Structure 1
Amino acid sequence: MKKMKVSLIVTTYNWKEALSVTLESVKRQSVLPFEVIVADDGSREDTEILIQELQEKYPVPLLHSWQEDIGFRLAASRNKAIAKSSGDYLIIVDGDLFLPKKFIESHLEAATQGAFVQGGRVLLGEKISFKVLNKKIIPSFFSSDIRNRHNMIDSKILSKLATRIRNNDKSTRGCNFALWKKDALNVNGYNEDFEGWGREDSEMVIRLLNSGLNRIYLKFKAVGYHIYHKENDREMLDKNDEIYKCSIFEKKVFCENGVDQYIK
């Protein structure tokens, strides 16, 4: 097992019930992160109260990085959390994931200098999600109402066979993503020119690849179980797509409107 300080960044916005599931699953990890930072894009006071209650007995430092709610600003929320982090390695997840017991451990095993890691997900349907949120049921391979069920298999042998270098932005999942902090800072984090949902994760991947890193597409390890919710508004997708395409065309590594503005 690699020895390093891991900062787990958990994004959230006004869904304390799902965030509670994520944070409780972190407590059960076989290997705990060094710290957990909740990257909050302007949630109501009930989220702050939840975090304060958990902080009292949480096994690692639990930090709340909050910004004003003036629209969907996921990139800024993540950047502020990255700036606050003290770990060598960042694991970034959405606050609507249940993390199986070996999630952090598996990410640690996959961490490689000169590379970043794309993890997978399992999609929980409405019925099983209701049980996870309201009855604290832990989903298993045999639970009903699950898509991508094969991803729930945790196997070193299958992972070794299926995991590969995949140096493109296909199947990018910002909900389960890991990289060295120094590599995140090298490309100046997430691009805050993005407004609304869409393409900020893929554009970040493009710049990381342009910086010379490899992308490890991790299979059968470190999978997050995604709690069902309606899709986000895609009104700004066309505009965001232009920013994304510009980064590809210009072979950008560094974004101007990034994390450096929060680092003292």
Structure 2
Amino acid sequence: MPGFELVISTYNNPRSLALCLDSLRQQRKLPQSVAFADDGSGLETAAVIDGFRLTGVTVRHVWHPDDGFRKCEILNKAIASSAADYLVLIDGDILMHPGFLERHLTLARPGQYLTGSLIRLNADATSRVTPDLVRDGTVFRQDWLRRNGALGSLSAWLKSSPLPLPAMALMDRLSPVRPSLSGANASAFRADLLRVGGYDERMKYGGEDKELGERLQNAGIRGRHLRYTAPAVHLDHPRGYANPEDRARNRALLAQTRRDRLTHTDFGIGRPAA
């Protein structure tokens, strides 16, 4: 497998980012580099990134000034400037199971993107997560997740990968849910992302990942589930940047991509400078 980079999107959530990096240190398969796609965070986040060290792993801090929700723009900058062949995309409020990156790399194929799901913690459970619980794997155990209200359904329980990997891999294959790209748990060859123009920078919060996935599908780059085999725990956080107008515009752009079977955006990587 050629070199790969982990791209972590982040915005002013240094506690979650530090916990995310604790989970990175426990990975069975490490990336050659980590790119922090930083949508304008302040000094506390910069301190977390500056303090991150992992033997054999290089670090890039891709940043632009805070001017509202511009996650698509900063992710495109990270993708365009990467030297890696393969990119794993997560958010900085995600805790990766120790086998997370290994699973993405095992199934990496040209012409295919991978996407997984999330086990969501509520605000109370999030406040109880400590570095030690991440480092010793407690946050991924079914008993801890159940006690903290995260396994309230059969689907959530399966997302915690409770059975041996071959059984969970079969569940991935049998899942009737159509793959829909989740930018908090996804991976693809960089060339495939460039082919479709990356993220559409007109889009704000709400559906921007799904729209990218639709263009990949339209271009013949098929999605494959890691729904039950790449567990990721999502830490709760406020979303002050969410608003109905942005969601409505995003829905309209997504509908256009589906209706016209668009394979590329003119508002992504390679767009003329404003």
Q: Normalising to structure 1: TM-score of the pair?
A: 0.90
Post-superposition offset of 1:159 = 2.9
CA contact (8 A) 1:89 1:181 kept: yes
Name the counterpart of 1:83. 80
2-side partners of 1:166 and 1:182: how far apart? 28
Question: Quick check: 170-179 or 43-52, which moved more?
Answer: 170-179
What amino acid sits opposite 1:193 in the alignment? R
In the superposition, relative to structure 1, how do residues 46 and 242 fare at CA in structure 2: closer, same or farther (>3 Å)? same
SS of the aligned residue for 1:258 comes to: coil
Shift of 1:261: 4.5
2:188 counterpart residue number: 179
Q: Identify the residue that residue 25 of structure 1 maps to in structure 2.
A: 23
CA RMSD of aligned residues (A): 2.3
Count of paired positions? 258
Does residue 209 of structure 1 match 2:217?
A: yes
* Corresponding position of 1:229: 237
Counterparts of residues 108-119 of structure 1 (less than 5 Å): 108-119=105-116
Counterparts in 2 of 1:1-264, with a 5 A limit? 3-55=1-53, 59-132=56-129, 134=130, 136-138=132-134, 139=139, 140-143=141-144, 144-145=147-148, 146-147=150-151, 148-153=156-161, 155-164=164-173, 171-194=180-203, 196-231=204-239, 233-235=242-244, 236-261=246-271
Residue identity (%): 28
Q: 1-side partners of 2:178 and 2:218: how far apart?
A: 11
Aligned-pair distance for 1:231? 4.4
Provide structure 1 residue ranges, at least 5 long, that are not aligned to the other structure: none
Secondary structure of 1:150's counterpart equals helix
Q: Give the partner amino acid of 2:80.
A: A
Measured after TM superposition, the shift of residue 128 of structure 1 is: 2.6
Q: Which runs of 5+ in 2 are unaligned?
A: none
1:151 is displaced (CA, Å) by 1.2
> Per the alignment, do residues 165 and 108 of structure 1 end up closer, same or farther by CA in structure 2, a change over 3 Å counting?
farther
For residue 243 of structure 2, give the secondary structure of its aligned residue in structure 1. coil
Distance in 1 (alpha carbons) for counterparts of 2:207 and 2:191: 22
Cα displacement (A) at 1:31:
0.7
Q: Which deviates more, 226-235 or 165-174? A: 165-174
- Matched position secondary structure for 1:10: strand
Contact 1:118 1:216 in 2 (8 A): yes
Residue identity matched to 1:249:
R
